[in-house]
């Protein structure tokens, strides 16, 4: 069973608020990712990290930012939330040189911006 | 860029076999995967196949890979109501994983 945790699981906030979605993993994985999952199910990579102090933008442009100060922690922040940010956000991790490339996912944070 | 396509929806009766199909475009794919997402949860790796294999069987699951046609399928034998979920096809190339849109499997009791 994967040891990757996301909080909060559900969040409903008003427009303009600052929010941080937390993601932590206890597997010692160097690579971590944030995916945005649309209501129609498709997954879009928005951020990833190869390790401490490494952050990269993914395939889908996002107004969110991430940080990687500790190996186990990869929080995502929205400075001013808007209704267009309403989505499910999935965090994942993997070993840096995994032979199979398996991704381990958290249970997701469902964000609703009113 | 890389593209992974799969049908959106599949409905089967309990006890029947389910076959979920996927096509991909990247000829340099090294691994291909099937992930399962249950309602309200994240994705979980169900099975994977290395690109130089053409079949992999794991209990009720059979993965078939046609590398020439870039076609991947997942067969679930004796489908149960607990198999109802969204199934994502994915491929890895140069350490980058690309997901399909997901196929929602509905199992009718």
Tokens of residue B97, six digits? 């994983």
Question: Which of the residues in chain A have pLDDT under 50?
Answer: none
Question: What radius of gyration do chain B's Cα atoms show?
Answer: 13
Residues on chain A bordering chain B, Cβ-to-Cβ distance under 8 angstroms: 2, 4, 6, 40-43, 90, 92, 100-108
pLDDT at B1: 55
Residues of chain B with pLDDT under 70: 1-2
Which pLDDT score is estimated for B81? Answer: 95
CB proximity under 8 Å: B 30-89 to A: 30-31, 33, 35, 40-45, 48, 86, 88
Q: What does the pLDDT read at residue B14?
A: 97
Query: Are A107 and B40 in contact (CB < 8 Å)?
Result: yes
> pLDDT value at position B2?
67
Residues of chain B found within 8 Å of residue A92, distances taken between Cβ atoms? 42-43
Report how far residue A40's alpha carbon sits from residue A75's, in angstroms, rounded to the nearest whole number. 25
Tell me which of B20, B58, B93, B97 to substitute to probe the interface with A (most A C-beta atoms closer than 10 Å).
Answer: B97
Across the interface, whether the CB atoms of B44 and A107 are under 8 A apart is answered no
pLDDT at site A42: 78
- pLDDT at residue B77, rounded to an integer: 97
Q: What HEC string does chain A produce?
A: CCCEEEECCEEEECCCCCEEEEEEECCCCCEEEEEEECCCCCEEEEEEECCCCCCEECCCCCCCEECCCECCECCEEECCCCHHHCEEEEEEEECCCCCCCCCEECCCEEEEEC
Looking at residue B43, what is its pLDDT?
A: 92
- pLDDT value for B41: 85
- Comparing CB atoms, the residue among A41, A100, A105 nearest residue B44 is A105
Q: Nearest-CA residue of chain A relative to B41?
A: A107
């Amino acid at each position: 069973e994967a040891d990757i945790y996301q909080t909060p699981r559900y969040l409903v906030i008003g427009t303009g608020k600052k929010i941080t979605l937390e993601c932590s993993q206890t597997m010692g994985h160097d690579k971590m990712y944030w995916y945005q999952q649309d209501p129609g199910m498709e997954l879009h990579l928005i951020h990833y990290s190869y390790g401490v102090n490494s952050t990269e933008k993914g395939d889908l442009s996002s107004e969110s930012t991430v940080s990687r100060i500790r190996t186990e922690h990869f929080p995502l922040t929205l400075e001013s939330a808007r209704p267009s940010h309403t989505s499910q956000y999935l965090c994942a991790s993997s070993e840096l040189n995994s032979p199979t490339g398996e991704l381990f996912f958290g249970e997701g944070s469902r964000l609703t911006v009113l | 860029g890389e593209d992974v396509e799969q049908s959106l929806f599949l409905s089967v009766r309990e006890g029947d076999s389910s076959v979920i199909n996927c096509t991909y475009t990247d000829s340099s794919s090294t691994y291909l995967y099937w992930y399962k997402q249950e309602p309200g949860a994240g994705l979980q790796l169900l099975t994977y196949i290395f690109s130089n294999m053409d079949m992999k069987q794991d209990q009720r699951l059979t993965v078939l890979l046609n590398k020439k046609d870039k076609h991947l399928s997942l067969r679930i034998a004796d489908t149960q109501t607990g198999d109802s979920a969204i199934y994502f096809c994915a491929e890895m190339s140069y350490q980058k994983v690309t997901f399909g849109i997901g196929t929602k499997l509905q199992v009718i009791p």
